[in-house]
Structure formats: C-alpha cells, structure tokens
Amino acid sequence: MLLKRIYDEVDLERYKKARAEKFEEWRAKFTAIDTPDGLIAAFAKQVSETLTPLPLLAGLEVNHTGVSAEQHFSTPLITELVKLNIAQLDGDELIIRAAPEDLHYTIKRTPGRWCLHCGEKLSDDANGEMARLHIAMKHNGVASPDPETPAGYVWLTYFDCTLDAEQHARFAKVG
C-alpha cells in the first residue's frame, strides 16, 4: 500500500520555516568546531528534521493498495488516524478517508490474543496466562493448527484487515 500524506498548508509552511531555522542553527554550531562541510550539512539536516514537529496531517491520497487486499495496520497508526478524523472504526469495518475515495476494510482480527484452533478472541492479560488457560481447557493435547505457532494462539499487535474487493481491483499495484 502506498499513500501520500496531504498536510495542512498553513502548518506545512510553519514546518518548513522552523526546519530551515533549526538547520541553520545546527550548521552554525558544527561549523564552529571545524567539521567537514558535507558532514555538517548531513548532520544539520538530520537534526533539524528530528527536532522540528511534523506538520498536521490533513488527509491521505491513494497511490496504490499493494498487490494483496490483505493489510495489517499497527495500533499506533490507527489511533493517530482516528484522532485526526482520517480513519473510523465501525464494528468490523475500518474506513480510511482518502482521495479519490474512502477505503473500506473488513477487520478480521483486532489487536490482542486469538485462538488458532477455534478463532476465538481471548482475554488479554500481561503474560498470556488467560490464552494458555483457554488452550488447556478447550484444546488440551491437540496440536496447533499452525506448526510455526505451537502455542495454539497468536498475539496480534495490529488490525488484520481486508480491503473491499472492488476497491482493491481499482487501486491494486500493477506490475
């Protein structure tokens, strides 16, 4: 998936100005200690970009949705997009507001622990004790359906989603 960030125009100008000021400030500091010019510019650029708060995100533009309709969205990303009113969670649907049209994803699994045997969402706790208890009570002695995950459950840190098939057909990466 490739999305282009669309920034708030006024805040983008603030960002550019602040970044340029930080660049000059740090370039002057390193010039004073006799550092090679190329190194000064590279380091000043990195520092100025790191220390300048990013501009406000106003929206997203869809370049392509990748080669597969399947997508994993990190919890911090979805949290930030929801805060900015760019994404909405509605039951088992994730809607990402984008241009030229909103993207509609079906949420297959939310972050947390999931049983690989029965697909049940398991209680979350700090150590996975409840997941192990579920496996012992409901699937004791049965090998995990996924040989690479012998515990019989997974702990997802992302939203496991599938893009609407028609949308993916229109926006899929070609070539």
Q: 133 and 105 in one domain?
A: no
Q: 73 and 135 in one domain?
A: no
Q: 106 and 62 in one domain?
A: yes
Q: 88 and 64 in one domain?
A: yes
How many structural domains comprise the chain?
3
Q: 165 and 106 in one domain?
A: yes
**Tokens 């609407």 map to which residue?**
164
Q: 42 and 106 in one domain?
A: no
Q: 123 and 39 in one domain?
A: no
Q: 46 and 69 in one domain?
A: no
| Phi-psi region at 56: left, alpha or beta (left = phi > 0; alpha = psi -120 to 50) | beta
Instruction: Summarize pLDDT for 144-175 with one digit per residue, the tens.
Output: 999 999 999 999 999 999 999 999 999 999 87
Q: 38 and 66 in one domain?
A: no
Instruction: Summarize pLDDT for 58-111 with one digit per residue, the tens.
Output: 889 999 999 999 999 999 999 999 999 999 999 999 999 999 999 999 999 999
- pLDDT value at 112 more than 90: yes
CA–CA distance, 29 with 27 (Å, rounded to integer)? 5
Residues 115-127: what's their mean pLDDT?
95
DSSP 97: -
Q: 64 and 106 in one domain?
A: yes
**Residue 78 structural domain:** 57-110+158-171
For residue 64, the SS3 value is strand
Q: 22 and 9 in one domain?
A: yes
Q: 70 and 6 in one domain?
A: no
Tell which residue, 126, 119, 112, 117, has the closest CA to residue 155.
112
**pLDDT value at position 50?**
87
